[in-house]
Structure 1
Amino acid sequence: MRRFLLLACLVLSAALQGCADRRIPAEFQAYADAPYSLGPGDRLRVIVFGQDSLSNSYAVDSSGKIAMPLIGFVPATGRSPSELAREIAARLRAGYIRDPQVSVEVEAYRPFFILGEVTTAGQYPFVNGMSVETAVAIAGGYTARARKDDAQVTRTRGDRTVTVDVPVTTPVRPGDTIYIPERFF
Structure 2
Amino acid sequence: MTAFVTFCFRRATTWALALLLVLGLALPAAAQEPQAPPAAAAAQGAGISVPLGTPLAPGYVLGTGDKLRISVFGEPKLDGEYVVSSTGIVSFPLIGNIPASGQTVEALQESIRSKLAAGYLKDPRVSAEVLNYRPFYILGEINKPGEYPFVNGITVQQAVAMAGGFSYRANTKRVFIKRALDTTERPVQIKGKAVLLMPGDTIRVGERFF
TM-score, normalization: structure 1?
0.80
Match of 2:201 in 1: 176
In the alignment, structure 1 residue 97 sits paired with structure 2 residue 143: no
CA contact (8 A) 1:156 1:162 kept: no
CA contact (8 A) 1:121 1:139 kept: yes
CA contact (8 A) 1:47 1:54 kept: yes
Residue of structure 2 aligned with 1:58, choices 42, 59, 82: 82
Q: How many residue pairs get matched?
A: 157
Residue of structure 2 aligned with 1:80, choices 101, 104, 113: 104
Sequence identity percentage: 45
User: Distance in 1 between the 2:207 and 2:149 partners?
Assistant: 24
User: Distance in 1 between the 2:189 and 2:136 partners?
Assistant: 17
Match of 2:151 in 1: 127
User: Distance in 2 between the 1:127 and 1:147 partners?
Assistant: 24
The alpha-carbon deviation at position 182 of structure 1 amounts to 1.2
Question: Structure 2 unaligned runs (5+)?
Answer: 1-44
The alpha-carbon deviation at position 167 of structure 1 amounts to 2.3
Residue of structure 1 aligned with 2:186, choices 136, 141, 164: 164
User: Distance in 1 between the 2:147 and 2:94 partners?
Assistant: 34
Residue of structure 1 aligned with 2:176, choices 146, 152, 163: 152
AA matched with 2:179: R
The alpha-carbon deviation at position 63 of structure 1 amounts to 1.1
Could you say if the C-alpha distance between residues 139 and 58 of structure 1 is closer, same or farther in structure 2, counting changes exceeding 3 Å?
Answer: same
Question: Structure 1 unaligned runs (5+)?
Answer: 1-21
- The one-character-per-residue Cα deviations of 1:104-127 (angstroms, maximum 9, x if unpaired) are 111111111100111100011111
Match of 1:40 in 2: 64
AA matched with 2:186: V
AA matched with 1:60: V
The alpha-carbon deviation at position 23 of structure 1 amounts to 7.3
2:179 is paired with a residue of what secondary structure?
Answer: strand
The alpha-carbon deviation at position 102 of structure 1 amounts to 0.8
Aligned-pair Cα RMSD in Å: 1.6
AA matched with 2:95: I
Residue of structure 2 aligned with 1:109, choices 125, 133, 157: 133
User: Distance in 1 between the 2:178 and 2:209 partners?
Assistant: 22
2:134 is paired with a residue of what secondary structure?
Answer: coil
Could you say if the C-alpha distance between residues 89 and 178 of structure 1 is closer, same or farther in structure 2, counting changes exceeding 3 Å?
Answer: same
User: Distance in 1 between the 2:156 and 2:184 partners?
Assistant: 16
2:196 is paired with a residue of what secondary structure?
Answer: coil
CA contact (8 A) 1:76 1:84 kept: yes
